[in-house]
């Protein structure tokens, strides 16, 4: 029997073929595409890899030209599907002619099911079709999946296709309207999306809360005490909201030399281990390690395809009973986690921790085999391994101490905590436990008062979203899915709507949301998107017809477009004006206008226009200070991993040239200048480039300070690297120079 197997990607197809054939498979190449073939028993298998979706959903050619007059018709138009991978389609059709059975082995979720069903639709195959359902590309999982084939879940695929149709209609029509109304065509178009826009609205709303926040002052009274060791305590009435009240208490106790212990209590407490990783938990932790959500997801997918971890797109936070925890721990003995794996097997908890979300499609994210991986992929793999081990470990145990002290008749309270048993913290070092020790005291003890002081503070605005907290908020509001949230955030960055981490909206992002808000466009409201997600669940269950959901969505969209059309000029002018931010005056008069998207500042003065290009990398902040040489504003450039840099707006100004010179070139005598590469890395280059090719790499973190001295070994200028909290390091920029070796030895 000939069996055609459809896999989602090449490495997944190759791994399936390797496992099912015991390593005895043949690779057959067709142009830039390939598939795998082998014999198992009396059956001949052909495993064909896709490249994700091989069908692309779009509108007919008659709608290719953007026109405001076409938008209402565009909403009702039924999109078509175009084959975007013709080579793969031809392979599928050829092999399907002689196939007796077809097995879909794509990722088991909505998107994966749709990819499989789309591929099936172009083969015209009429024979039996089955689905191999697995959560990891391991020998055990794959063999079990192909021995226990299930039916294709067409409702699951239908839910994904319905979302595609709705997202296309909303995105295409609103993107075209906003872009045309604001005269932003071509590469400068303004993208609007069903999930993207409400996510951006969250960020803009938080930024406005911060901008409009008015801090309120408050006061704390703090005491420093001593009894065998120093410890601090706070007045039990903290915070004080009136200055006269705090001063009254302070005047009473400020000169007191001793305090009396009124109460002392110690309690042993425990902190349970964290719950298993689902996609949201994983991305939240990965972003804390410095990865973007999109990069963390990409690395996790690569680890899954390599058979190192289970499927990374899952809502589940409960290990199924079928998960072989002992087998995973045994496999980890063959990795750098051997010591932890052996220790854990001796002292693991009776039952693993569990979260509130339990599903049957995939288990939580776990390692599937021990490995020693390096680089970023190794860091993500280690995170998954350590989270898995933590969920099996004992509780963290600590001792909490509380003491109440009377300073005259004012009550202070001090709290302490000491680690008793690190438990799961041994396996999961990404969480810190801060100890605060206080002495053991008895009621009636006299304690020395070393100092009483007032702390004046102010209430703080809500924190900006990090990628971690934004993903959690998106999940809470049902914005997007476990499979799309990281991608949505990445798109906001790529389209210039947001920047930084914590995340700030750009002027463009603010302008877009304000225009949509001003015209009551429901696409920015999370509840509209959340309702659609519930509709997707109903389609998946078979209790709601896809046609009904699409029709309902189209009617809502047409009403919004009608409302926008009535305010077209206002929408366009608002966006246009917001893109021109006035940042000050030109030295000779006129206005300085910042065009954020173009990273350009324009000086407009009596018909004369001057342009100032900003650095291509880094976040730009305009300072209130002016350049002492030319009078233009000074700017602060913030690049990730580097100290902020102050420069004159005019890149050719003498202020910048003098500031960047660190010494003389040992080869030609030119100036050695700190420069930035295209990807934002700083280095030293000669001012006589290209005639002189002398360059030196620089540490990316810390402040570089010229010393005026010359290296006695190579003639390069000696520099000082200054980092906060660390001792200054004097070095030669020629990293291989003998000076650095000797200097290091001396240290």
Residue 76 backbone phi and psi in degrees, to 5: -85, -10
Runs of H (alpha helix) within 368-466: 375-392
Q: Tokens 């009551």 label which residue?
A: 520
How far CA 486 is from CA of 277, 543, 633, 635, 692, in Å, comes to 16, 29, 37, 32, 45
At the topology level of CATH, where does 2-50+85-152 sit? Rossmann fold (3.40.50)
SS3 label, residue 234: strand
Angstrom distances, CA of residue 683 to CA of 322, 362, 644, 672, 740: 54, 47, 15, 10, 17
The CA distance from 386 to 393, in Å, is 10
Is there a contact between 614 and 632 (Cβ–Cβ < 8 Å)? no
Q: Lowest mean pLDDT: which of 362-371, 424-433, 571-580, 662-671?
A: 571-580
pLDDT by residue (tens digit) across 631-663? Answer: 899 998 887 766 678 889 988 888 887 778 899
Written as six digits, the tokens of 20 are 């099912």
Say if residue 178's pLDDT is above 70: yes
| Three-state SS sequence of 55-74 | EEEECCHHHCCCCHHHHHHH
Sign of CA dihedral 486, 491, 492, 493: positive
pLDDT band of residue 326 (cuts 50, 70, 90) is very high
Phi, psi of 48 (to 5 degrees): -105, 120
Residue 746 predicted with pLDDT over 70: no
Q: Is 211 exposed, middle or buried (0-12, 13-18, 19+ CB in 10 A)?
A: exposed
In this predicted structure, the answer to whether residue 319 has a pLDDT above a threshold of 90 is yes
81's tokens: 């599907």
Per-residue confidence (pLDDT) for residue 355, from 0 to 100: 93
Element (H, E) at 490: helix 485-494
Place of tokens 């391991």: 138
Q: What's the whole-number mean pLDDT along residues 448-469?
A: 95
The answer for residues whose C-beta is within 8 angstroms of residue 131's C-beta and 6 or more apart is 103, 104, 105, 108, 113, 116, 149, 150, 151, 152, 153
Give the pLDDT mean for 188-203: 89
Report pLDDT for 50: 95
Residue 723 scores a pLDDT above 50: yes
| Residue 714 pLDDT exceeds 60 | yes
- Are 396 and 424 contacting, i.e. CB atoms less than 8 angstroms apart? yes
Q: 414 has which bridge partners?
A: 403
Q: Output the pLDDT for position 610.
A: 87
Are 197 and 505 in contact, with CB atoms under 8 Å apart? no
Angle (deg, nearest 10), helices 375-392 and 325-332: 130
> Considering only 205-219, 261-275, 669-683, which range has the smallest mean pLDDT?
669-683
Task: With beta carbons less than 8 A apart as the criterion, state whether 461 and 210 touch.
Answer: yes
The span from the CA of 334 to the CA of 373, in Å, is 12
Please check whether the two domains, 217-272+397-458 and 279-394, share a CATH topology.
Answer: no
Q: Quick one: CA torsion of 352, 357, 360, 364, rounded to 10 degrees?
A: -50
Query: What digits encode the pLDDT tens for the residues 341-364?
Result: 999 999 999 999 999 988 878 999
Beta bridge partners of residue 113, listed in sequence order: none
The mean per-residue pLDDT over the stretch 81-100 comes to: 94
Give me the helix-helix angle, 485-494 and 467-476, nearest 10°.
130
- The pLDDT value recorded for residue 183 is 81
Q: What is the pTM of this model?
A: 0.81
Q: Is the pLDDT of residue 561 over 80?
A: yes
519 phi, psi to nearest 5 deg: -115, 20
More confident of the two residues 274 and 725? 274
| 510 pLDDT above the threshold of 80 | yes
- Provide the CB-side half-sphere exposure for 172 (13 A, CA): 26
What would the pLDDT profile of 27-64 be if each residue is shown by its tens digit?
A: 999 989 999 999 999 999 999 999 989 999 999 988 88
| Superfamily of domain covering 162-211+467-574 | Topoisomerase I, domain 2 (1.10.460.10)
pLDDT confidence of 507, banded at 50, 70, 90?
A: confident
**Sheet with 682-686, edge to edge strand ranges:** 661-664, 671-676, 682-686, 695-697
Per-residue pLDDT, averaged over 702-725, amounts to 90
- 8 Å CB contact between 204 and 492: no
Sheet holding 703-710, edge to edge: 703-710, 717-722, 729-731
State which H helix or E strand residue 709 sits in: strand 703-710
Predicted confidence band of residue 744 (pLDDT cuts 50, 70, 90): low
pLDDT in tens, 494-505: 888 998 889 999
Section 175-191 average pLDDT:
83
Over residues 372-385, the mean pLDDT reads 96
Cα–chain-centroid distance for residue 424? 25
Whether the CB-CB separation of 575 and 190 falls below 8 Å is answered with: yes
Beta-strand pair 43-49/2-7: parallel
In this predicted structure, the answer to whether residue 229 has a pLDDT above a threshold of 80 is yes
- Of 433, 430, 431, 432, the C-alpha closest to 419 is 433
Neighbour-count burial of 265, counting CB atoms closer than 10 A to its CB (0-12 exposed, 13-18 middle, 19+ buried): exposed
Residue 220 predicted with pLDDT over 90: yes
Which of 35, 311, 428, 696 is an active site residue? 311
Question: pLDDT digits over 94-110, tens only?
Answer: 999 999 999 999 999 89
Helices 154-181, 507-518: crossing angle, 10 deg rounding: 100
pLDDT tens digits, one per residue of 67-80: 888 888 999 999 99
**In angstroms, how far apart are the furthest CA atoms of the chain?**
96
* Burial class of 691 by CB neighbour count within 10 A (0 to 12, 13 to 18, 19+): exposed
**Of 12-21, 57-66, 144-153, 410-419, minimum mean pLDDT range:** 57-66
Q: Domain 279-394 is of which CATH architecture? A: Orthogonal Bundle (1.10)
pLDDT, residue 161, reads 94
Mean pLDDT, the chain, as a whole number?
90
Q: What architecture does CATH give domain 217-272+397-458?
A: Distorted Sandwich (2.70)
pLDDT tier at 703, thresholds 50, 70, 90: confident
- Collapsing DSSP to helix, strand or coil, 265 comes out as strand
Residue 401: pLDDT over 60: yes
What is the mean pLDDT of the segment spanning 174-184?
86
- CA dist 593 → 190, 449, 598 (Å): 21, 58, 12
Least confident of 14-23, 257-266, 406-415, 583-592: 583-592
Per-residue confidence band for 6, with pLDDT thresholds at 50, 70 and 90: very high
Find where tokens 């090719």 sit. 693
User: How many residues does this entry show for the chain?
Assistant: 747
Residue 408 CA to residue 256 CA, distance in Å, equals 7
| Stretch 263-274: mean pLDDT | 96
Query: Which is higher by pLDDT, 532 or 301?
Result: 301
What backbone phi and psi angles, to 5 degrees, belong to 51?
-125, 60
Q: Please state the rounded mean pLDDT for residues 379-407.
A: 97
Confidence of residue 522 (pLDDT cuts 50, 70, 90): low
pLDDT at 726: 84
Q: Is the per-residue pLDDT at 683 higher than 70?
A: yes
Active site residue 311: yes
Enumerate the domain spans of the chain. 2-50+85-152, 162-211+467-574, 217-272+397-458, 279-394, 580-652, 664-674+683-747
Whether the per-residue pLDDT at 747 is higher than 50: the answer is no
Decide if 269 contacts 398 (C-beta within 8 A): yes
Distance separating alpha carbons of residues 570 and 519, to the nearest angstrom? 9
The b-or-e profile of 596-628 (16+ CB within 10 A means b, else e) is beeeebbbeeeeeeeebebbeebebebeeebbe
CA distance 66 to 59: 12
Least Cα distance to 224 among 258, 182, 188 occurs for 258
């Amino acid at each position: 029997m000939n069996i055609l197997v459809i896999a989602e990607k090449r490495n997944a197809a190759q791994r399936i073929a390797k496992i099912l054939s015991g390593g005895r498979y043949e690779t057959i190449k067709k142009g830039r595409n390939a598939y795998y073939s082998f014999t198992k028993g009396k059956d001949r298998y052909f495993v064909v890899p896709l490249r994700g979706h091989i069908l692309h959903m779009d509108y007919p050619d008659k709608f290719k030209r953007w026109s405001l007059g076409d938008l209402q018709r565009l909403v009702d138009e039924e999109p078509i599907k175009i084959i975007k991978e013709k080579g793969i389609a031809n392979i599928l059709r050829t092999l399907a002619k002689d196939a007796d059975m077809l097995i879909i082995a794509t990722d088991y979720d909505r998107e994966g099911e749709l990819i499989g069903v789309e591929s099936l639709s172009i083969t015209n195959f009429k024979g039996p079709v089955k689905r191999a359902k697995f959560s990891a590309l391991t020998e055990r999982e794959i063999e079990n999946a192909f021995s226990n084939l299930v039916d294709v879940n067409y409702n699951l695929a239908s839910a994904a296709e319905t979302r595609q149709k709705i997202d296309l209609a909303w995105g295409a029509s609103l993107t075209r309207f906003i872009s045309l109304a604001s005269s932003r065509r071509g590469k400068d178009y303004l993208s609007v999306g069903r999930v993207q826009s409400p996510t951006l609205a969250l960020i803009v709303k938080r930024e406005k809360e911060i901008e409009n926040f008015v801090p309120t002052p408050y006061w704390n009274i703090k005491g420093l005490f001593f009894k065998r060791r120093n410890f601090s305590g706070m007045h039990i009435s903290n915070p004080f909201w009136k200055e006269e009240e705090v001063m009254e208490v302070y005047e009473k106790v400020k000169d007191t030399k001793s305090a009396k212990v009124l109460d002392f209590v110690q309690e042993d407490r425990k902190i349970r281990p964290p719950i298993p990783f689902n996609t949201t938990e994983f991305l939240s932790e990965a972003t804390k390690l410095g990865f973007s959500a999109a990069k963390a997801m990409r690395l996790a997918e690569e680890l899954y395809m390599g058979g190192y971890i289970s499927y990374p797109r899952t809502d589940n936070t409960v290990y199924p009973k079928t998960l072989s925890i002992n087998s995973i721990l045994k496999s980890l003995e063959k990795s750098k986690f051997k010591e932890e794996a052996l220790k854990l097997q001796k002292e693991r908890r009776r039952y693993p921790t569990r979260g509130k979300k339990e599903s049957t499609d995939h288990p939580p994210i776990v390692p599937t085999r021990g490995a020693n991986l390096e680089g970023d992929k190794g860091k993500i793999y280690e995170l998954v391994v350590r989270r898995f081990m933590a969920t099996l470990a004992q509780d963290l145990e600590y001792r909490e101490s509380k003491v109440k002290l009377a300073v005259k008749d004012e009550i202070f309270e001090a709290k302490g905590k000491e680690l008793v048993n690190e438990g799961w913290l041994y396996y999961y070092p990404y969480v810190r436990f801060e100890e605060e020790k206080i002495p053991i005291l008895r009621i009636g003890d006299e304690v020395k008062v070393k100092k009483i002081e007032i702390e004046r503070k102010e209430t703080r605005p809500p924190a900006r979203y990090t990628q971690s907290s934004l993903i959690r908020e998106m999940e809470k509001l049902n914005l997007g899915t476990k499979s799309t949230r990281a991608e949505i955030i990445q798109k906001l960055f790529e389209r210039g709507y947001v920047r930084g981490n914590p995340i700030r909206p750009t002027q463009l992002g603010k302008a877009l949301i304000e225009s949509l808000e001003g015209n009551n466009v429901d696409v920015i409201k999370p509840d509209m998107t959340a309702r659609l997600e519930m509709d997707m669940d109903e389609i998946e269950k078979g209790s709601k017809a896809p046609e009904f959901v699409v029709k309902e969505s189209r009617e809502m969209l047409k009403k919004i477009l009608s409302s926008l059309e009535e305010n077209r000029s206002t929408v366009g002018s608002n966006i246009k004006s917001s893109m021109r931010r006035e940042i000050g005056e030109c030295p000779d008069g006129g206005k300085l206008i910042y065009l954020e998207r173009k990273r350009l500042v324009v000086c407009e003065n009596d018909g004369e226009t001057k342009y100032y290009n900003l650095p291509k990398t880094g976040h730009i902040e305009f300072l209130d200070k002016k350049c002492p040489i030319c009078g233009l504003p000074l700017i602060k450039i913030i690049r990730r991993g580097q100290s902020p840099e102050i420069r004159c707006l005019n890149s050719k100004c003498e202020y910048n040239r003098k500031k960047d010179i660190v010494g003389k070139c040992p080869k030609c005598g030119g100036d050695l200048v700190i420069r930035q590469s295209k990807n934002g890395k700083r280095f030293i280059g000669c001012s006589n480039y290209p005639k002189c090719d002398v360059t030196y790499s620089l540490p990316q973190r810390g402040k570089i300070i010229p010393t005026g001295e010359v290296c006695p070994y190579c003639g390069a200028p000696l520099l000082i690297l200054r980092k906060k909290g660390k001792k200054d390091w004097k070095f030669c920029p020629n990293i291989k120079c003998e000076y650095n070796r000797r200097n290091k030895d001396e240290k």
